[in-house]
Structure 1
Amino acid sequence: MKTSRRQFLKTGAAVGTAVALGRSARAFADLPVKDAVVPEISQFAYANVQLLDGPMLDQFNRNHAFFLALDDDRLLKPFRQRAGLPAPGEDMGGWYNFSPDFDPPKNMTGYIPGHSFGQYLSGLARSYAVTGSKPTQEKVQRLVRGFAETVTPKFYEGYCLPAYTFDKTNCGLIDAHEFAADPEALAVLNHATDAVLPFLPEKALTRAEQATRPHPNIAFTWDETYTLPENLYLAYKRGAGDRYRQLATRFLQDHDYFDPLAARENILPGEHAYSHVNALCSAFQCYLTTGSEKHLRAARNGFEFVLTTQSFATGGWGPDETFRKPDSGDMGASLIRTHASFETPCGAYGHFKVSRYLLRASGDSRYGDSMEKVLYNTILGALPIREDGHSFYYSDYNDSASKFFHEDKWPCCSGTFPQVTADYGISSYFRSPRGVYANLYVPSKLTWKQGSANCVLTQRTQYPLVPETSIELQLDRSETFTVMLRIPAWAGPKTRITVNGKAMQQGLEPGKFLPVSRSWKNGDRIEIQFDMPTRLDAVDPQHPGTVALMHGPLTLFAMGDKPIHTTRAQILAVQQLSQGSDTWKMSDVEFKPFWVIGREKYRLYHDVS
């Protein structure tokens, strides 16, 4: 007998939870809980930050419009099919729909049906929170209602990655609740949790552990149970019920991952890159929820290993989606072995999340520096998703490189792309009782209340093509607070800051936030002029002569794929054609930032003498 959505909403979640935990459940009616640890630095709400004209706003708007226009029936089709319901609409194809052709790794059609539904739902919910677009909110709530009717354990029968897909479903539903005010999302989540629990293992499993268990094909060894805790903790804190905290604890991968990381043992080499960076977010949410300093150390140390031993000059990491052994020369060797250098939308999404978390815990501007590097040199240059679902997946750092789409439709990066672009605003500014942190120098407007003053901070800039930014404050009454300005570690000694035309003489230190404290009044203005040095960054210590050209936060890519025969002095003499130009030139070679490159050939690293 089929259960209607109304019947399910009335009884399904409570009954399912009681069965799963052996107790009476009030899960989706619980009040939100407070963090055990509340960092002094916090995120602004999505609605507090408005991006202004520029490439970030263009990319966000494009993704928002694309997913708003996707047909509901197509998005819901694989769930309706498994539930035995009418399933109108065309197949989306690729990874998204069930297919008899699935034969990994030779044929990935039908790989993870419905896997990215939760990510699309999350991206739309966040986009509504940014824009207030009623059609977007209506679509989110319509999709939640449609999905509710399909929830059944049958969906996961013979399904290769149940934890992977449920994690995204969980994220989408808690975001629909939190950001799109969906009244049913937490009830639907509880029902969806009941459906997946019989198919989850007793604990988080490494990929090696999964390979030792019986499996019909290799894809069943790729599930990512170790990424579950982040969104389970968030579900708990957003009011979905205490069992989500219990489940989060159950799937913490302490023995094989967080314990050694907390002890500063670098166990990243050989691991799948994106999912293990994403798992660091679970460690941080454990810290926030339980106060576990061990998990904070694990997140901090793990990300430090990524930044110092696994990253290219662009900030990207994980060639062939795998972390490499430090001091092996594998990063340099990858330049001739693979075109799959960095899993870009997924990697950028995880990178931005863990950077935001760690910045909040520490106030360390290095995390802002790393966000900035990944923004300009990877994700901002991602090609738009095509109507047929082909998506930009890998940044290519091969010696003969180009931008290309993933061979399969609707891969995982089609889901993280709208999420990371919706997060651009909340990555740009942070707040604390002292005032505000200006983390990214992007065209934007921040609106907030400081003390008794209603404040607006407007940033106008063409940074980083022009090495300056202007910040204007509008207040309805004077108020004393601090504006914390991120001074990048690369900033040269001629970096200059003025407040209302008066130069600041002390306190400016690259690699730190500079506090500017005063009684601010309407019309006050901060001007920053950055000294952007040009420098070289070696791919790894074993290839010191294989270098990328850097200018401030930008990695500059040589157009064309022919080797450049030059010296360090010659390549460092490269010149921007004019201030604001997106082109630098050395002799007859042009260099461009990643986001302005189309389908031309380019080269990132060069052998210099």
Structure 2
Amino acid sequence: MKRLKSFDYRDVKLMNGRMQECLNEMMIFYMGISNDDILKYMRNDAGLEAPGNSFQGWYLKSRGTSLIGQWISAFARMYAVTGNEDCRKKAIYLAEEFWRCYELLKDTPKKLLHERSFYAFEKLLQAHCDLHIYCNYKKAADKIPWMVDFAVTQIGKENIFGDNGTEWYTMSESLYTAYEIFGLEEAKEAAEIWEYREFWDLFYCNLDPFSKKPKAGLYSEFCHAYSHTNSFNSCAKAYEIKQDPYYLKALRSFYDFMMETEVMATGGFGPNFEHLMPKHRIIDALRTGHDSFETQCGSYAAYRLIKYLTRFTGEPQFGNWGERLLWNATLSTIPMTEDGKVIYYSDYNMYGASKINRQDSWTCCTGTRPLAVIEIPRMLYYTDDEDLFVSQYASSELHWERAGQIITVIQQTSFPETDTSELFLKMKGPEQFAVRLRMPDWLAGKMEVIINGIPISAMVDKEGWLTVEREWKDKDHMVLRLPMKVWMHAFDTEKNGPNAFLYGPVVLAADYTGIQTPNDWMDVRRLVPKMKPTGKPLHYKVEGREDLSFKPFYEYKEYERYFLYHDTSAHVGRNR
């Protein structure tokens, strides 16, 4: 089994395209949030001078503690991506001010960390790991042992199954990370306290995932989708540290469950108050609800899970899920508002949907939004120190240190609006290695490779990567062609529905101006041959219909009505 490594934030730079635009927009927004606004409630509670605006919504409830850890991590990672000293200063300043307020409040009823601070603590611990790695913040190394001791001595150990009110079962990942970085045995021992074996066992033993019901938490008929998916990042980190095959088997089994039962055309999962549910309940939720996918949190959890699985197994297929989420979730999110409103739920309702920022301000998704976006560069490439693995097709520049020299790989593409991507190599001297390419699951034909103008026959390796192994030289140029077409997805393959339409990895949502839904007036399962390009990339008109057209889901703006899924599993409309 080939073990891979992710490249760091510093190694990959996004270039012209939607991904770069998304990253830049996010960084401008979050760097524009005033430190005084972020710290106002904490300073006020601590009796300090507290200038700034009073954030409302969820921020008021937590006094900022539920978000500050994620934001410190985000600013530290922004510094790693950009080298902008302002990002580093912001991350460190927020950390120091948090601890100043903490000391003043630690013996009061308004203390910033307490026995139920699972969520805030875990984010804050990861933030200090990021401060140490990316910002060279010396005080982080001093705080980590104290934080580990706090977890062991102060935070509760009830560990109730399914309790998404605390999300205790996500604690282990950051604790294992602290052990990995600082070598603290206490952190490893603490991580084991919060391992979620009761849930992971269901997948390790191939049991019915719905056989156990949550015993505590909110909306607890089924397990909370985001946090239970996120718990497997702790499972993955446990495997990375301990190499116990239990964890990898459970992890792979959970991934298979998600692909077979939960994941929709967009890559999203967990509708109806964020539940992992049987297929028939998900289909019901697509009929009745507008809370189809907790977009920011769910994407961030999935991106990390995908990276772990790709690294551990050396297999390419996990990138297919990441690709769907990149284009149909992260890049399909409308801009946030200045008062902290974000797309919390993506809406896939089969009877009409639209994109709307959640009316509650500063929700948990405003914490994970920057983390999900800044993860994009790390989704693109992997290495095993010998070969290069290309997982995503996006304009980018990679700096790869291999065998003592820096190899620069520049990828230029308008994918998915075009079906080609070009790779240019810059290197001092010739090197023998393989470039291994993910073959997407939506390919409409054989993937083609052209090197320096000459078509070549590439082999597929045992893990499933399309492989080109040769002696590479400076200025070598590779052209990839990834044949694409419009195709129809069925969420339930046995029922052949509900259905959605995609071009390659991109979901095409319907702009329909007729009455009821498209499926009430035509058999949408027969639409693919009738969908004709309009001349604008990924836009389609339908033969014989003036009231129906399709365009990429990522192009829809706020309040624009669309139909993403079509309720063909309930009925098929008259064929007109």
Per the normalisation by structure 2, the TM-score is 0.89
Deviation at 1:192, TM superposition (A): 4.6
Match of 1:288 in 2: 240
Contact 1:164–1:223 at 8 Å: present in 2 too?
Answer: yes
Match of 1:50 in 2: 13
Contact 1:487–1:508 at 8 Å: present in 2 too?
Answer: no
Match of 1:19 in 2: none
Question: 1-side partners of 2:304 and 2:537: how far apart?
Answer: 31
Match of 2:138 in 1: 183
| Structure 1 residues 107-146: aligned runs within 5 Å | 110=61, 113-146=64-97
Question: 2-side partners of 1:401 and 1:180: how far apart?
Answer: 42
- Larger mean Cα displacement after TM superposition, 490-499 or 472-481: 490-499
Contact 2:102–2:111 at 8 Å: present in 1 too?
Answer: no
Decide whether aligned partners of structure 1 residues 299 and 79 sit closer, same or farther in structure 2, where only a CA change above 3 A counts.
Answer: farther
Match of 1:530 in 2: 482
Contact 1:349–1:420 at 8 Å: present in 2 too?
Answer: yes
Decide whether aligned partners of structure 1 residues 203 and 476 sit closer, same or farther in structure 2, where only a CA change above 3 A counts.
Answer: farther
- Larger mean Cα displacement after TM superposition, 136-145 or 279-288: 136-145
Match of 1:501 in 2: 453
Match of 1:568 in 2: 525
The code of the aligned residue for 2:400 comes to W
Contact 1:430–1:436 at 8 Å: present in 2 too?
Answer: yes
| Structure 1 residues 229-248: aligned runs within 5 Å | 229-239=172-182, 241-248=184-191
1:584 matched to 2:540? The reply is yes
3-state secondary structure, aligned to 1:238? helix
Q: 2:204 pairs with 254, 258, 262, which one? A: 262
Contact 1:173–1:189 at 8 Å: present in 2 too?
Answer: yes
1:594 matched to 2:553? The reply is yes
Match of 1:405 in 2: 357
3-state secondary structure, aligned to 2:182? coil
Question: 1-side partners of 2:292 and 2:270: how far apart?
Answer: 7
Deviation at 1:70, TM superposition (A): 1.3
1:539 matched to 2:491? The reply is yes
Contact 2:148–2:190 at 8 Å: present in 1 too?
Answer: no
Residues 532-587 of structure 1, C-alpha deviations (whole Å, 9 max, x = no match): 13221123246424310122111111124751123533334313323x61422223
Residues 192-246 of structure 1, C-alpha deviations (whole Å, 9 max, x = no match): 5555655522253224xx6xxxxxxxxxx71110000001111111217322111
Deviation at 1:166, TM superposition (A): 0.9
Residues 270-322 of structure 1, C-alpha deviations (whole Å, 9 max, x = no match): 10000011000000100111111111111211122112100111110000244
Match of 2:216 in 1: none
Deviation at 1:160, TM superposition (A): 9.1
3-state secondary structure, aligned to 2:31? helix
Contact 1:42–1:430 at 8 Å: present in 2 too?
Answer: yes
Match of 2:29 in 1: 66
Question: 1-side partners of 2:458 and 2:366: how far apart?
Answer: 46
Q: 2:401 pairs with 443, 449, 452, which one? A: 449
Contact 2:115–2:155 at 8 Å: present in 1 too?
Answer: no
Question: 2-side partners of 1:67 and 1:481: how far apart?
Answer: 40
Match of 2:218 in 1: none
Question: 1-side partners of 2:372 and 2:524: how far apart?
Answer: 38
Per the normalisation by structure 1, the TM-score is 0.85
Decide whether aligned partners of structure 1 residues 457 and 342 sit closer, same or farther in structure 2, where only a CA change above 3 A counts.
Answer: same
Decide whether aligned partners of structure 1 residues 448 and 485 sit closer, same or farther in structure 2, where only a CA change above 3 A counts.
Answer: same
Match of 1:553 in 2: 505
Question: 1-side partners of 2:69 and 2:277: how far apart?
Answer: 34
| Structure 1 residues 484-523: aligned runs within 5 Å | 484-507=436-459, 512-523=464-475
Deviation at 1:112, TM superposition (A): 6.7
Question: 2-side partners of 1:364 and 1:161: how far apart?
Answer: 39
Decide whether aligned partners of structure 1 residues 503 and 596 sit closer, same or farther in structure 2, where only a CA change above 3 A counts.
Answer: same
Residues 77-130 of structure 1, C-alpha deviations (whole Å, 9 max, x = no match): 333344444433222221112xxxxxxxxxxxx257420111111111111101
Question: 2-side partners of 1:278 and 1:143: how far apart?
Answer: 26
Question: 1-side partners of 2:16 and 2:490: how far apart?
Answer: 34
Task: Please provide the CA RMSD for this pair.
Answer: 2.3
The code of the aligned residue for 1:134 comes to E
Match of 2:219 in 1: none
Match of 1:475 in 2: 427
| Structure 1 residues 129-208: aligned runs within 5 Å | 129-152=80-103, 153=106, 154=108, 155-156=110-111, 161-193=116-148, 199-207=154-162
The code of the aligned residue for 2:445 comes to P
Count of residue pairs brought into register by the alignment: 545
Question: 2-side partners of 1:157 and 1:440: how far apart?
Answer: 41
Question: 1-side partners of 2:141 and 2:38: how far apart?
Answer: 20
- Larger mean Cα displacement after TM superposition, 44-53 or 83-92: 83-92
Question: 1-side partners of 2:158 and 2:229: how far apart?
Answer: 19
The code of the aligned residue for 2:308 comes to Y
Decide whether aligned partners of structure 1 residues 268 and 411 sit closer, same or farther in structure 2, where only a CA change above 3 A counts.
Answer: farther
- Larger mean Cα displacement after TM superposition, 363-372 or 78-87: 78-87
Deviation at 1:592, TM superposition (A): 1.5
The code of the aligned residue for 2:490 comes to A
Deviation at 1:58, TM superposition (A): 1.0
Question: 1-side partners of 2:112 and 2:237: how far apart?
Answer: 30
